[in-house]
Amino acid sequence: MFLRVDKLQVELPAPTAQDPNAAAALQELLGGKYGEMSTLNNYLFQSFNFRSKDKLKPFYSLVAAITAEELGHVELVSNGVAMLNNGPDDDSDEEDGGDLSDAPYEDMKDIRLAQAFLSNGGGSTPVNSNGVSWNNDFVTTTGNVIVDLLHNFHLECGARLHKLRVYSTLSDPTGREVCGYLLVRGSVHAHAYALALKKLTGVDIDKMLPTPNINLDQIPECAKYLAEGSHRRLYTFSPDDFSDIKGIWEGDKALPGDPKGPLEVVEGMPEGGKIHQLTGIPSAFTPDYAPEEMFEIATKLYKKSR
Ligand code: MN
Ligand code: MN
């Protein structure tokens, strides 16, 4: 089962400007081959299909716990995409539908993923940076624990490659923060899968890290997460279950180049941060052309529920 919490894993800084092409680049981290939809769905179905769950518990728990974190990453990237598509929140946008006959969105015909505006109202969907749909062919679930873990290690290294490349295309704070946070968390996941493979086979796969060989302290947006020790923390994302991942995520070995310290399992989830409002754009009919009555109905219902 899953529990939903109305927060993002980290708070994202507001965009400084509307930048739909930056949002399109960020889409690669959502619906690309190594994007969050891929990590989520690989671990999700591997955890469903996992055999001998009790006998192989720490390995099952590792895949299951990281699944929940990946769902939150899908949420984080999706929020980042929508924020960049929309620009800074502005309540005054919600007051008037404006003049449609004056081509208010003429610029939108020139953006790379026009569908994001034309069909999705400036939101995100599981497509890559060129609008190609994410699909099930990106999911590997073999039933063989070593092959699945090795696939997951490859997936996390591929995701790091994606994130470094997308990061190097972005100048706005929102997209860079998404990349910075996910680079640190992806590094934890690659490290965790490497340690799991080491426990099972004796092979020092962790010595291949980081791949690509860029230390995170070279990325300013990673610095605060490294300073607070996020690179040493693995979450269970559950109130009672999966704490046996301590059998895998243990020892005193942060990756070379990262601040040193013990690896820690945290029971539960990160504190998290606020979700961006995404104010309406009545002239694009979101939530609708004249939203006042809808806001009034919603306010009445909310008050009644308290
Ligand atoms: Mn992820
Ligand atoms: Mn990951």
User: Is the pTM here over 0.75, yes or no?
Assistant: yes
Task: Tell me the per-residue pLDDT of 186-210, one tens digit each, with 9 for 90 and over.
Answer: 999 999 999 999 999 999 999 999 9
CA of 272 to the centre of ligand 2 (A): 17
- Residues within 5 Å of ion ligand 1 by Cβ? 36, 39, 70, 73
CA of 50 to the centre of ligand 1 (A): 20
Task: Tell me the per-residue pLDDT of 114-173, one tens digit each, with 9 for 90 and over.
Answer: 999 999 999 999 999 999 999 999 999 999 999 999 999 999 999 999 999 999 999 999
Nearest to 23 by CA among 81, 74, 75: 81
CA of 252 to the centre of ligand 1 (A): 24
CATH 1.50.10.10 describes domain 20-305: no
